[in-house]
Amino acid sequence: MKVFIVYCHPSDDSFTRHMRDAFIRGIEDSGNEYIISDLYKMDFDPNMTEQEYLRDAYYRTEPDVADDVLAEQEKINSSDAIVFIYPVFWTEAPAKLVGWFDRVWSYGFAYGDKTMKLLDKAMILCSAGNTTEHLEQFGLLDSMKKVMLGDRLFGRAKETGFVVFGSTSRENELREQNWDSNLQKAYDIGKNFF
């Protein structure tokens, strides 16, 4: 089985990068394979052009999508599952990942007369500075899930999941205390993914 990882973090010196690597080790150790798009390393352009906007706004399949978008769509259709790994910025994914959805979830691919395959599984693995309890208490976790699972992934995978690794800010003492257990959790998710 093959998983497509969409990874979005501006720094290699991050917990999120370590979480990604632990997840990948789990995927590899389970005998499965992966492909990855590291949006910052690729310098993926998150900005929708006027031409792209008008194409989607009028529900057209012409003109053809841009080559960078087509490459991402091909990665999706060549995979059995998709995993998004990112840090939470202001209760949302980084702008580069939001722009990825704006451009890659194009008309004729992700909606309308879809050519996007129905994936077996889609999962969110995100790191947050706040505790999970804080995110739940103020309804922020529900908001994040509604956007990612209820809108962006809705009907595009047979099974979905959302995992938050809380208290991962550099100044948070729980970051170090939970470091090993959090990375073990990311590894286990990868190892038992399929």
CA distance 107 to 96: 20
Structure tokens at 192: 């038992």
DSSP tally for the chain: helices H, then strands E: 9, 5
Q: Which two tokens stand for residue 168?
A: 């991962």
Residue 95 token pair: 């702008």
Angstrom distances, CA of residue 179 to CA of 3, 45, 57, 121, 125: 25, 32, 44, 26, 15
CATH value at residue 43: 3.40.50.360
Q: What is the rounded CA–CA span in Å between residue 84 and residue 98?
A: 11
Amino acid 178: pLDDT: 84
Q: Tell me the pLDDT tens digit for each residue of 32-63.
A: 999 999 999 999 999 999 999 999 999 999 99
Residue 165 has pLDDT above 80, yes or no: yes
**Structural domain range at position 85:** 2-191
Provide long-range contacts, Cβ within 8 A and 24+ apart, for 47-50.
Answer: 47/99, 48/99, 48/102, 48/103
Q: pTM (2 decimals)?
A: 0.96
Alpha helices, H only, the chain: 15-29, 39-42, 50-57, 67-77, 95-104, 132-137, 140-147, 173-177, 179-191
Q: Would you call 122 helix, strand, or coil by DSSP?
A: strand
Q: Cα–Cα distance between 51 and 34 in angstroms, integer?
A: 32
102, 48 contact by CB (below 8 A)? yes
Q: How confident is the model at residue 186 (pLDDT cuts 50, 70, 90)?
A: very high
Domain count, the chain: 1
User: What is the pLDDT of the chain when averaged over all its residues?
Assistant: 95
Q: Is the pLDDT of residue 130 over 90?
A: no
